[in-house]
Amino acid sequence: MFLVGGSTRIVKVQHLLQDFFSGGRLNKSINTDEAAAYGAALLASSISDKRSLPIIKVAPLSVNLATSGDVVKNLPS
């Protein structure tokens, strides 16, 4: 399993995940910040219609974009 996000750096969170997945091995070879940026780039690519890439959401959360004038737009998922 791959961990992504700042909270996954917390050792207690890592232990809880290992216990939850019956002692499954955690893969720490991916930089968590780069993984989040890579996912955002894939999402941006799919929205721009410039290139078709399959995106499979494992944790479907809404993505919002704040623009000038305090306008917040919900990006399509």
pLDDT tens sequence across 1-55: 667 777 778 899 888 888 888 887 887 777 777 777 777 877 777 777 665 656 6
Angstrom CA distances, 10 to 15, 45, 48, 65, stand at: 9, 31, 35, 28
The answer to whether 53 and 39 have CB atoms below 8 angstroms apart is: no
Return d(Cα 42, Cα 17) in angstroms, integer.
26
Q: What is the pLDDT of residue 34?
A: 76
The answer to whether 73 touches 65, Cβ cutoff 8 Å, is yes
pLDDT band at residue 63 using 50, 70 and 90 as cut-offs: low
